[in-house]
Amino acid sequence: MASVALSEAEKVYIMHGVQEDLRVDGRGCEDYRCVEVETDVVSNTSGSARVKLGHTDILVGVKAEMGMPKLEKPNEGYLEFFVDCSANATPEFEGRGGDDLGTEIANTLYRIFNNKSSVDLKTLCISAREHCWVLYVDVLLLECDGNLFDAISIAVKAALFNTRIPRVRVLEDEEGSKDIELSDDPYDCIRLSVENVPCIVTLCKIGYRHVVDATLQEEACSLASLLVSVTSKGVVTCLRKVGKGSLDPESIFEMMETSKRVGKVLHASLQSILHKEESLGPRRQKVGFLG
């Protein structure tokens, strides 16, 4: 993971501040940095979103392609995740340097979506056992300033909200061979419901307290973190401890309660922003990287 080298004095300074619920940039332990979300940034995808969390910059593109359903789930489509840690973030990611981190993040994304309720996969089915929609969710990490998992999960949720899958009809003729017909109207499409899509809340343990949305400097001070994937209703879908330090069970339960609290607020504000952006309609001025 991209990291920054801190001296002992700086680490002590950060830790003492956190004990008093005061972080270096003035936030409290449960406050997020300012998040900027914009959807529909890349036009030849089915859906896309860009999230800027402090200096962490993530771009997600979703492409819908037709494929065969998996054998054990013939009535459902599926999602495929791919994370590209671009060399833009740090020169260490050049060539294959970013592959390890990319695989780790992709595996975490697979895990948090690996349940029946996150995304309704049955809407992605076209005809059982033969055709289904496969959503390729591609994450591009452009700049890294701590708290990658949270930013990526917010971006994935926003991109899935923005995804428009063309409506298709299966026509069967007399001989029994099937033909897939795309609807004529380019605006006729199915949208996914992202009510139950989870977001990851990362809690880093610094000293005796834990902080939400750690910057790179704070991550360097923390020995252990807990990744909790929580939905808008407060349901936890995945839990994972990372880092080389250890956590005692009491802390883990405390951190889970914090994550549920923080997660609900995060989901509520994200939903309101996405709906507000949607209500501006096609005349919305797209800013992208030019703003």
Partner 1 sequence: MAGLELLSDQGYRVDGRRAGELRKIQARMGVFAQADGSAYIEQGNTKALAVVYGPHEIRGSRARALPDRALVNCQYSSATFSTGERKRRPHGDRKSCEMGLQLRQTFEAAILTQLHPRSQIDIYVQVLQADGGTYAACVNAATLAVLDAGIPMRDFVCACSAGFVDGTALADLSHVEEAAGGPQLALALLPASGQIALLEMDARLHEDHLEQVLEAAAQAAQDVHILLDRVVRQHVREASILLGD
> By the criterion CB under 8 A, which residues form the site for partner 1?
41-45, 48, 55, 57, 59, 61-63, 65, 82, 84, 86-89, 91, 94-96, 136, 138, 140, 142-145, 288-290
Is 56 or 108 the residue whose CB approaches partner 1 more closely? Answer: 56
| Distances in whole angstroms, Cα of residue 187 to Cα of each of 191, 272, 279 | 11, 23, 16
List the structure tokens of 186: 């380019």
Is 57 or 150 the residue whose CB approaches partner 1 more closely? Answer: 57
Least distance from partner 1 to the Cβ atom of residue 219, Å: 15
Least distance from partner 1 to the Cβ atom of residue 204, Å: 20
Least distance from partner 1 to the Cβ atom of residue 43, Å: 7
List the structure tokens of 31: 């406050």
Is 100 or 257 the residue whose CB approaches partner 1 more closely? Answer: 100
Is 87 or 171 the residue whose CB approaches partner 1 more closely? Answer: 87
Is 65 or 181 the residue whose CB approaches partner 1 more closely? Answer: 65
Least distance from partner 1 to the Cβ atom of residue 71, Å: 23
Tell me the residue type at 72: E
| Distances in whole angstroms, Cα of residue 170 to Cα of each of 53, 67, 76 | 43, 14, 16
- What sign for the dihedral angle of Cα 200, 206, 207, 210? negative
Least distance from partner 1 to the Cβ atom of residue 154, Å: 18
Contacts of 246 (CB under 8 A, 6+ apart): 223, 224
Least distance from partner 1 to the Cβ atom of residue 124, Å: 16
Is 55 or 169 the residue whose CB approaches partner 1 more closely? Answer: 55
